[in-house]
Amino acid sequence: MNGLDLINEVLELTLAFQRGDASAEERARLERLLSDNPQAIEWYLRVVEDTLTLRASAMVRESSVQESQPPLAGEACGIAGVALAEDRFAFLHTEAAGGNQTRATWTASWGRLWRGWAAPAMAACLLLAVAGMLWWSAAGRNVADASQPTSGHAARVVNVSNVEWSVGAKQYDEWSFVEPGDSLRIERGLVNLFVDNGAELLIEGPADVDFVSLGKVFARKGKLAARVSPSAIGFSIETPHANVIDRGTSFGMSVDENSRTDVVVYEGMVDLDVLGENAPARRRLERGEALSVSNLGKLSRIITVESKTFLEPPQVVRAVNGRGGQVISSVSDNVRSLETTKYYRVIPGGFREDCRAYVDRGHQWNGVDQRGLPPFLVGGDYVMTYNDDKNVTEFEIAIGVSQPAALYVIIDDRVPPPEWLKRDFVDTHWDVGSDEGYEDRIIGNGVGPGESIDHSCSVWRRAVPEPTTVVLGALSKEEFTLPATDIGRSMYGVVAVPLGDG
C-alpha cells in the first residue's frame, strides 16, 4: 500500500468510526493499521485533532448564528458544521496527495462522510433555541473555552465514559483541555486523552493522575495505558516508586492503593526505573514482558495479563462478545519468578480472525481457507503464549478453568504431537492457520481467512467437566542449540469455551 492509499483509508475508516457507523470489519481494519504502521497512527491522531477543532469551531459558529437568527438556528448549524468540515478535509487530502486531487472531488466526498455529524448538530441547535437564551449563553461560554488555542503543551479529553469524579475534583467534559498542573481524580469510569505531542492515554478509575507536562504524567493510583507515536518517544508515567519511560511502544500500567506499580509492554519497549536510594539498575522491558514493583522497590514477575487488571492499549475498541462469562481464570508456569519477565495474556472472548497469537511475535490465528476459523473456537477465551517457549523442554503451563469447559490446544503440524497431548486430548481433525509476522523482516500479515497462511496447526480438544486447573506440557522434548527465532516451529495456543458450546 502506497502512502496516499494509506492516508485515504485511515481518513475514511476514522471518520466512519467517529460517526458510529463503522462495521466490525472496518473497526478491525483500522485497529490493524494503527497497530502495524506508525504513519497510520500519525494520520489518525491528526484526523482526531482536526475533528475536535472542527466540531468546537462549528459549535461556536452555531452560537453566533443562533443569537442573530433564532428561527433558522437548526439549518444554520448544519450548514456551518458541514462547510467547515468539507473545507478542512478537502485541504487535508489535497495536501496529502501533493495537490494531485481536485478540491471539488474531495469536498463532495468528505461532505457525504460529515453529514452524519451535521444532523446531530442541527438537532442540538434546535433544542438550544427552545431552551432559551440563558441556557444558550452558558453553553456558548463552555464551548468557547474548549475551542481556545493552547500553548502546545496540553492534552485534550476525547472521551469520558461512565465517569464518576472524586469529591471536590475538577471535572472535565469531552473536548476540554487538560493543562500542565491539572489533575484527573475519578472514582470509576474511563477517560481518554490525546496529548499534543502525539501520545494517547487511557485512565480508568479509581485513579489519581497529574498531567505534569507534555512528556510526563504522575499516577498515584489507577489503571493506565498509553500508545505513543514516534514524535512522542520519551513520554513517561511516574508513580510513587517507579518511572516508566517510553521508547516507542504501547504499554499498560496499574498502580494500586499500596503504591505497587505493575507494568506490561504490548508493543515496542520501555525503560523501567525503580525510584529510591537502593533501587536496582534500569530495566528495559520489550514486547511480551512485564514486571511488578512493590512499594519497597522489590521487583517480581507478572505471570498473567488480564483485562480485569490491565487496560488494553488505546486503539479502536470493539466489543468483546464472550460466551457466558470468562472461562480462563488464571495462567501460570514452572519458571522461577525473576528468571524471566515474560507474561501470558488472557483475552476473554477474543479468539477470532487475525487475532494475535503470541505476546512476543506478530503472528496471528486465521482460518486456513476462506471458510474461516472452526466455528466452535470463535468467541472463545484464549491465551497469548510466548513463542520462544517452543524450545523449552522442561516446561509446564497451568490453565485455571472457572467453569465446565471445552479446552483446546492448537499445535503446529510441523511438530509430532507430544505424549501429554495424545494422552489427555483428542484430535478434532480441524485445522487453524498461522499467519506469521515479524518486525525485523519483510514479512507482514494478511487480512482475513485464508490470507498469508504460513503453516497449519491441528486443534485438539479436552472436556473439563468442572472448575479445575489443567496442566499442559512442553511442545517437544527435542533440544536445540539454535536461537528460538531460527527454529522452524511455533509454540502452541490455548482456547477455552463453556462446555456444551464447543
Residue that finishes a domain, picked among 255, 274, 305 = 305
Q: What is the DSSP letter of 443?
A: B
Work out whether the CA dihedral 271, 273, 274, 278 comes out positive or negative.
positive
Predicted pLDDT at 216 = 92
Helix (H) or strand (E) holding 48: helix 38-68
467 and 379 in a common domain: yes
266 and 373 in a common domain: no
Paired with 44 in beta bridges are none
Backbone dihedral angles phi then psi of residue 75, each to the nearest 5 degrees: -65, -45
Residue 323 lies in a domain: no
Q: What is the DSSP letter of 385?
A: B
Residue 464 lies in a domain: yes
Helix (H) or strand (E) holding 423: helix 419-424
211 and 90 in a common domain: no
197 φ/ψ sector (left φ>0, alpha ψ -120 to 50, else beta): alpha
Q: Give the separation between CA 137 and CA 141, rounded to whole angstroms.
A: 6
395 and 353 in a common domain: yes
By the 8 A CB rule, do 159 and 18 touch?
Answer: no
55 and 76 in a common domain: yes
255 and 160 in a common domain: yes
Residue 276, domain CATH: 2.60.120.1440
Residue 17 grid cell: 468510526
Paired with 261 in beta bridges are 255, 293
- Helices 38-68 and 24-36 cross at an angle (nearest 10°) of 120
Predicted pLDDT at 129 = 33
Residue 332 lies in a domain: yes
Predicted pLDDT at 70 = 44
CB under 8 Å to 369, separation ≥6 — which residues? 449, 450
What is the side-by-side strand order in the sheet with 355-356?
A: 304-305, 344-347, 381-384, 493-498, 405-412, 455-464, 426-435, 364-366, 355-356
Q: Give the separation between CA 242 and CA 275, rounded to whole angstroms.
A: 5
Residue that finishes a domain, picked among 256, 272, 305 = 305
Residue 410 lies in a domain: yes
397 and 445 in a common domain: yes
Residue 479 lies in a domain: yes
Residue that finishes a domain, picked among 238, 271, 305 = 305
Tens place of pLDDT for every residue, the chain, 502 residues?
Answer: 566 777 778 778 877 776 767 665 566 667 667 766 667 766 776 666 566 555 555 555 555 555 444 433 333 333 334 344 444 444 444 445 454 443 343 334 434 444 444 434 433 333 333 233 222 233 333 332 333 434 455 888 878 888 999 999 999 987 788 999 999 999 999 998 888 887 888 999 899 999 999 889 999 999 999 988 888 889 999 999 899 999 878 899 999 888 789 999 988 899 999 887 677 778 899 888 899 998 888 888 888 887 778 887 765 443 334 556 789 988 888 876 667 778 888 888 889 988 889 888 888 999 988 888 898 999 899 999 988 888 888 889 999 999 999 999 999 999 999 999 999 999 999 999 998 876 655 556 677 777 878 899 999 999 999 999 999 999 988 877 777 666 778 999 999 999 877 6
Predicted pLDDT at 224 = 93
Residue 37 grid cell: 504502521
Residue 320 lies in a domain: no
Range of the domain at 106: 3-146
Q: Comparing C-alpha atoms, which of 119, 172, 124 is closest to residue 145?
A: 172
207 and 127 in a common domain: no
Domains in the chain, number: 3
- DSSP-assigned letters across all residues of 273-310: EE-STTPPPPEEEETTBEEEE-TT--EEE--EE-TTTS
Q: pLDDT per residue over 62-114, tens digit each?
A: 555 554 444 333 333 333 343 444 444 444 444 454 544 433 433 344 344 44
What is the side-by-side strand order in the sheet with 328-333?
A: 328-333, 397-401, 468-472
Predicted pLDDT at 13 = 80
Q: pLDDT per residue over 332-389, tens digit each?
A: 888 766 677 788 888 888 899 888 898 888 889 999 888 888 989 998 999 999 888 8
Residue 318 lies in a domain: no
Residue 443 grid cell: 514479512
Q: Give the separation between CA 195 and CA 294, rounded to whole angstroms.
A: 29
- What is the SS3 assignment for 151? coil
Predicted pLDDT at 254 = 92
Predicted pLDDT at 104 = 40
Q: Give the separation between CA 411 and CA 85, rounded to whole angstroms.
A: 51
Q: Give the separation between CA 239 and CA 209, rounded to whole angstroms.
A: 9
370 and 296 in a common domain: no
Residue 319 lies in a domain: no
The angle at the Cα of 144, spanning 226 to 181, to the nearest 5 degrees, equals 40
139 and 88 in a common domain: yes
Work out whether the CA dihedral 262, 267, 410, 367 comes out positive or negative.
positive
Helix (H) or strand (E) holding 126: helix 103-131
475 and 342 in a common domain: yes
Other C-beta atoms closer than 10 Å to the C-beta of 170 total 12
- Cα 134 to chain center, whole Å? 41
Work out whether the CA dihedral 96, 98, 99, 100 comes out positive or negative.
negative
- DSSP-assigned letters across all residues of 225-238: EEEE-GGGTT-EEE
489 and 346 in a common domain: yes
Q: Comparing C-alpha atoms, which of 263, 262, 264, 315 is closest to residue 288?
A: 264
Residue pointed to by grid coordinates 503543551: 153
